[in-house]
Amino acid sequence: MPEEIIKKETEDNTNDLRAIFDLMQKHSEEDEKLITKAYKFAKEAHKNFERLSGDPYIVHLVGTAKNLAEIKADAETIAAGLLHDVLEDTTTKKEDVVREFGDDITFMIEGVTKLGKIKYHGVERHAESLRKLFIATARDIRVLLIKLADRLNNAATLESLHKVRPEKSRRIALETLEIYAPLANRLGMGHIKGELEDLAFPYILPNEYKETVRLRQKKSKEIMKRLEKINRLLCKRLAKAGITKFKTDFRVKHIYSLFLKLQKKNMDIDKIYDLSALRIMVPTTEDCYRVLGIIHNTWRPLPERLKDYIAVPKPNGYQSIHTVIFTGDGGIVEIQIRSEQMHNEAEYGIAAHLAYDESGKKKTGGELSKKLKWITQLIEWQKGVHESESFLDNLKTDFFNNQIFVFTPKGDVVELPEGASPLDFAYLIHTDIGSHAFGAKVNGKMASFDTALKNGDIVEIITREKSTPSPKWLEYAKTSEAIKRIRISLGNTKKNKERLER
């Protein structure tokens, strides 16, 4: 290999790794060694692969890793992000990954691979089932973080795909908007949710996207000037009150989020009061309420527009105080007040709890359970957790134990109660399929009608026109719909038989 090529490749490697390390909140020498090893392994495994854009495949993997570093994921998760496609797309064997990187990273890679095989056809009734399936399937929450980081990078490169395969780009955009963005929201990751929605929006509703961008540009200049003026005065008032440790910034509403609000207001942007907002981050919860008092003593608040999400957090754990004020010059401005910790959790959700504490140790599960009450509906904590244990060792999904998610041969998701049989599946798909069921295949193999289906099974029903329900089927069915349809069929069969005998 010519010397100049070797030199360029070395520079590329260094730049890629430095970009990842720079985004990480804190990292040790061991972390750098692990991520470097994963990077080199992934680059070698994918050396003959290119993206549709013509970029080497490693560009996507680095993009995924950078997204993970930005949401404060740990070194193992970032390494798994770099390696997330090696088992699916290359000749790399599982045992090679286990030997080089251990069981935990291999488990994450396999989890991402499994989620990648789930198809989505834009069927509205399956959207929530698919979101639930993702959470139920990912026994380690980090699998979901990698999948979201992977999708974020793919969504950011939709333009290249759209030029050559517009239908596929639209399908990916729809899946991003209906599955991944709500999933990010469910995990409290507001930053990722907003990015995913905005990246997908132009490929789903291009005309509406352009109009929303135009309206936002038209209004945002005027509002930003007003926010800057409010910010200058507020900084003086806070300093006068002895509050010196604070940060402020301006938030402009995401395009898709604005579009949804505009729809409710007949596309009248003058009726949108939170197009932009002034954010104030302070050290403690007590400071939040002190700042609120200063704001309301300086400007007149709009009646009934105060929202205290600190006292009553949103279901996904979001905490902040929102107030809307009259600026005195005919304008109206929203101000959001939160602590630094609340801000990190609002942006990165559960991923914020993978970050390190001040001493450089990972935060524990106990801290997570106190901060995010909603997570108790989603995960089960093992008992007797010690302070020194990583919360990741104790994070288990248990929210969906009473339901399972299986697939049609085309990859559609079907939600069933635990213990459901192929007959329950058949009747849920269509009454005629249930009524004429002759046999069933589960994961490609013939299975009896009393088989208890499991999470992730692929189920196919074989039908015959002359096949009819048997009384035995009532013992196999678990859903009320299937039992009802079987009884109706049996009743009709009995009536027909009696009529023929007469």
Residue 478 and residue 453: Cα distance in Å, rounded? 11
C-alpha dist (Å) from residue 363 to 137, 185, 186, 360: 24, 22, 21, 9
Residue 270 and residue 220: Cα distance in Å, rounded? 11
What contacts 421, CB < 8 A, 6 or more positions away?
449, 450, 451, 452, 453, 476, 477, 478
Q: What are phi and psi of 322, to 5 degrees?
A: -115, 130
The encoded tokens of residue 284 equal 């403690």
Query: Catalytic residues, which ones?
Result: 88-89
Do residues 243 and 185 make contact, with C-beta atoms less than 8 angstroms apart? no
The encoded tokens of residue 332 equal 């109206």
C-alpha dist (Å) from residue 43 to 37, 46, 73, 496, 502: 10, 5, 21, 69, 79
What contacts 223, CB < 8 A, 6 or more positions away?
275, 276, 331, 333
**Torsion of the alpha carbons at 202, 204, 206 and 209, rounded to the nearest 10:** -60
Residue 155 and residue 175: Cα distance in Å, rounded? 10
Residue 314 and residue 497: Cα distance in Å, rounded? 59
225: number of CA atoms within 13 Å, CB side? 6
Residue 263 and residue 418: Cα distance in Å, rounded? 40
Q: What are phi and psi of 496, to 5 degrees?
A: -65, -40
Do residues 400 and 130 make contact, with C-beta atoms less than 8 angstroms apart? no
* Three-state DSSP class for residue 280: strand
Strands 332-339 and 437-442: unpaired
C-alpha dist (Å) from residue 193 to 18, 272, 379: 26, 20, 21
Query: What single letter denotes the amino acid at residue 472?
Result: K
**Torsion of the alpha carbons at 145, 360, 392 and 284, rounded to the nearest 10:** -80
The encoded tokens of residue 326 equal 């009259």
Residue that the structure tokens 């999400």 belong to: 309
* Positive/negative CA dihedral, 104, 106, 107, 109: positive
